[in-house]
Structure 1
Amino acid sequence: MPMTTLPPDTYDAPWKQALELYIEAFLAFFFPAVHAAVDWTHPVEFLDQELQKIVRYAEQGVAHVDKLVKVRLKDGTSYWLFIHIEVQSQYDATFLKRMWVYYYRLYDRYGEAVVSLAVLGDEHPGWRPNDLRWERLGLQVQFTFPIVKLQDYRQQWALLETSHNPFATVVMAHLKTQETRHQVEDRKRWKLALARRLYQRQYTRQEVLNLLHFLDWMMYLPEDLDRAFWDEVKTFEEEQEMQHITFLEREALTRGSAEGFTRGSAEGFVRGQRQELLDNLALMLDLKFGEAGATLLPDLQQITDVALLRAVRNAIKSATTLDDLRAIYCAPTQSEEQKKPEPDLPALPPDTHN
């Protein structure tokens, strides 16, 4: 296979967008126990600005992705999930200390209702830091958090191929991007295989477009191979008698990848998801409540938060009245300033070790 020098692979931005679009699928795939504890009839909140204020020196770069997510648990309590994705190829000797610093700063703000989770995307199978211990002059500190190692999925490839979870595609793309760093023909072959798989998973059209964008963004190809890739996608669609990706959709995908997924294209995908949810809600409300269900549509059409619309959709099956659904998007939120601060935890000295 020819050796070709490619631009540095981009991992952080595609992961960030996938996490924002599919947070529920992310937790179900990587942290099922956490997913099972969350009440998904309530909207999820991404607190990016809060995270930047609390963890002042946290940086969003090519090395990692950080997200602070507020969720409601099934027991009625609110929790803050700090999700850290280490996407660089090399391991980071400061990782444990960073996780500790992030945690105690979040603890200072939110108390015990903070859970740290980490996904490690490096290429070192033996590097699995998730347990920090420190003892000095009778003081003992132990900090342990759940981690997922993407390299482990190389031995579970058959499970990835049969999974309907969008993050199976994300993981396969991540691993194959690493594996084909200098083999562009192999990368094109794998990118095409993963693209074809999207059409076989019974995803909605918007989900196919979202995940195609992810593949196109992460699995970069030179211009000639990129054209060949899209030609083969079109041929596959024709063979399967599927709705073609339009020229404008393709341009949006490739332009978004080339520009680092601009704010405009990101918002376009969110708008598409929102419209699809509104269409689904109209049908589900009609099936559940008949003509009365349509009275909710004007309210729902004013909602721009995709997570909130998804929460309403998820609650329709168990709802007995329309007021049950109204309560979801009309519920007042508790002021964060009313929460009592918890005592701070000590930071580790410079000679931190695990």
Structure 2
Amino acid sequence: MPAPFRHDYDTPWKDALTRHFPDFLAFYFPAAHAAIDWARPHIFLDQELAQISRDSAMGRRLADKLARVHLCNGDEQWVLLHLEVQAGRDGSLAERVFTCNYRSYDRYRRPVASLVLLADRSPRWRPQQFAYRLLGSEMCLQFALAKLLDYAPRLPDLLSEDNPFALVTAAHLMAQRCRKQPLAAYAAKRYLIRLLYRRQWGRQRIMDLLLVIDWILRLPAELELELRSDIQKMEGGCVMPYVSSFERIGLQIGRQEGRQEGRQEGQVELLGRQLARRFGDLPAAVQNRLQQASAAQLLAWGERVFDAATLEDVLGREEGKTTP
């Protein structure tokens, strides 16, 4: 059964958006994609965005980005794109987008376009502007909007499209359809992973999408074990873009004894990346603790990452004493 929203702000969604930014825009905001000169590099302004939005409510965001891009109109000046991926209904969304937009303009004195992708389950919730009038004065920001639910009629076509965010969208739609139906979620996740393995995509793209699909379609532990076993059989029976990708990125949760050393190293690497995304650079003591941990301990820590508020919540009080 898909898990409820988890407040792990640096989600796999954010990683996929960052690495495949042109694909994201091409799929959800094609007009914006067509207007950008992709021959010139785009630059993400993550630190600047953190400062701009430091005192705004996080809400249920899956990701947000501020990017510097050039347009195809020949103008040498650059402009800004502000992106939000919103998980659920939030009455403060429009005001938050407006605040980030005007603060970005105030900082850079460059035009700012705000684009919002909604991943909620409410068909009627479609905030597209923040506006007010007062004493003859008027303020209004109209922002571009896309909604995952609008792609539901296209679900069969999404499964065959080449854009990676077609599969991400399909995973969200399947997760919504399979709520409280763990067996249906298992079948959906297995099907999407099989599709992914058959794509002639590069290793990094497949890894990124595996992480997103795994994050969206969470299963009970016993079904995750069954899926892992099924994936191993699947890998043995067909040609993959690379071998054992599902295991290499640490998505396995198997509890069997006698695991190969390489598998545990993969778990350590993945858990370290997850902790660093959540809590910043890891102290040497924490890195050593990860290297020395047993497979069972790594599994227990990995299951806490998504819900923990602090590093101590993940690793326990003993480790918390070693961290700043």
Matched ranges for 1:175-190 at <5 A: 175-190=173-188
1:8 correspondence with 2:8: no
For 2:270 and 2:173, the matched residues in 1 are separated by 19
Query: How many residues are aligned here?
Result: 259
Q: Match for residue 115 of structure 2?
A: 117
For 2:243 and 2:204, the matched residues in 1 are separated by 13
Q: Are 1:81 and 1:115, in contact at CA under 8 Å, matched by a contact in 2?
A: yes
Shift of 1:246: 5.9
Matched ranges for 1:276-295 at <5 A: none
Return the match for 1:56 from 44, 49, 54.
54
Q: Are 2:86 and 2:117, in contact at CA under 8 Å, matched by a contact in 1?
A: yes
Shift of 1:205: 2.8
Name stretches of at least 5 consecutive residues in structure 1 with no aligned partner: 266-354
Structure-2 change in CA distance of 1:63 and 1:264 (3 Å): closer
Shift of 1:64: 4.3
Matched ranges for 1:132-171 at <5 A: 132-171=130-169
For 2:105 and 2:139, the matched residues in 1 are separated by 15
Q: Are 2:60 and 2:86, in contact at CA under 8 Å, matched by a contact in 1?
A: no
Structure-2 change in CA distance of 1:161 and 1:246 (3 Å): closer
For 2:182 and 2:22, the matched residues in 1 are separated by 33
Q: Match for residue 95 of structure 1?
A: 93
What is the TM-score of this pair, normalised by structure 2? 0.72
Shift of 1:59: 4.9
Q: Are 2:159 and 2:166, in contact at CA under 8 Å, matched by a contact in 1?
A: yes
Structure 1 runs, 4 residues or longer, greater than 3 Å off:
9-12, 58-64, 252-260, 262-265
**Rg bigger for which structure?**
1
For 1:177 and 1:258, the matched residues in 2 are separated by 24
Shift of 1:56: 2.6
Shift of 1:142: 2.4
What is the TM-score of this pair, normalised by structure 1? 0.66
Q: Match for residue 80 of structure 1?
A: 80
User: What CA RMSD, in Å, does the superposition of the two structures yield over aligned residues?
Assistant: 2.6
Shift of 1:223: 2.2
For 1:113 and 1:204, the matched residues in 2 are separated by 35
1:204 correspondence with 2:202: yes
Q: Secondary structure of the equivalent of 1:261?
A: helix
Q: Match for residue 345 of structure 1?
A: none
Q: Match for residue 274 of structure 2?
A: 261
Q: Are 1:9 and 1:177, in contact at CA under 8 Å, matched by a contact in 2?
A: no
Point out which structure has higher relative CO (alpha carbons under 8 A, 6+ apart). 1
Q: Match for residue 244 of structure 1?
A: 243
